[in-house]
Structure 1
């Protein structure tokens, strides 16, 4: 893999991750862009003890443009985009409308393919491996920033989830604090005096809620899944984040990650809206208590039916799942690939 870094017209960083070592990246961003937006404000809520980022500039971000105006496609003579080149494999760049920037962290966009009409399930296992390499590279580099406390790599797919661009892409948030989900997990581990996710992995491997697996990874639906279809893809040994995986583990992850997405899409014969989220340890604390894993969940519970976060979930944080995890795992295993 070849890594090439350039600077966009407004000073943001862009990195090409090419599968060919002889790739040449000489294109220059010819756009006239306004100055970068100021960083978001971080505000502390004493009632929930959580940080809230107020990023008013994000109101102006591009919303579901027509395909010929997609800012994530390669540039053409008729339309210059965020990617100056006329083709690419995987590309990462600083978000033009970030939730976090400067002293409040960083946000990046990761484009998986130059094909606007593609989806993650259409990628080759090699390309998924390149995406994983890009996520790993960015986790390592962003973790070195003084303001960053946790790095979060993820993909949102589907208008039902809230995506604003259809082009196949993910994002990376480098937070200036440890996220509430991770904080609650670490507090539970500290009370128990052990790595609780290790017990989850030991319980689920080989059980009735397993969806798929290989020598290094297992994909399963947890016993207490919150979402109708919630899949954890986890390595068989404890590592804190993507940077601690071996080459063999990364290579084995790519086809399994791809298979899980293909099974989701095959479940009802339609593109499933989902969030695919890499849960990584914080940069500076609790690394021995965290177990890297990918959580993929869909809000679709049946054809034509979505799982809405209504009163109980939204107001009280009290979850009710409409699909038994055992039933969901069996349905996913039965999908013909």
Structure 2
């Protein structure tokens, strides 16, 4: 009896503690779970290629033939002897050289130098240096690449303090903003003349939602302490819920093994049978008494 009492008491203690922990953990985690659900729904509903802004620019496929290159490589090397590497690309409708130059900068008292790379853009036909790209050239590139019909609302040269939607490695750039519901922005490199990135309001919403999804409201990285402790609390909530589920299923299995009356109607139908089963058989009593009287009379 004592063992059964201890087991029952231990079972009740586990159930109560699990119920308390599960209730308060879910109260605390309700808001983060709601934020995860809303932000996650947005991120999986909208096409990721649209979020990246692929629909904002054309995918031009232009073939460059050797006859388009009029400035020989020997002449290019003579003009720019510090060339480390070069590539041939298209700037709107003309071929260009993108040169990577090595430049040396003296720092401090001039006793030591730092080698850095510099990018130059050169017309492959005339040899004209095109970088740094002018405002008019940046507008021409953006107009050539942009697929929308919105008017240009602003043009800005960004050389430092890159906005949150642009990586600092692309600086310096021209930012061209367009009118429209999506608030599209095209970023054109000052050095290469290429579109380095494109952004719109749906990407900006995605970026904010991604930060809320990771519970990091500063740098958008997944290494913050708030996310770590929220995950720990979620695991505790799952564990306590599992304990409650175990006791609930165990109680249901025990109740199924025990026969019981399911409805009031069954109880009412069962009562007359119970009365008949417990009622004495008066006919047999009377017949027995009559037989005994007859036997006494014959004697």
Scaled by the length of structure 2, the TM-score of the pair is: 0.24
Bigger radius of gyration among the two: 2
Structure ranking higher on relative contact order (CA contacts 8 Å, 6+ apart):
2
Higher helix share: 2
**Structure 1 length as normaliser, TM-score?**
0.22
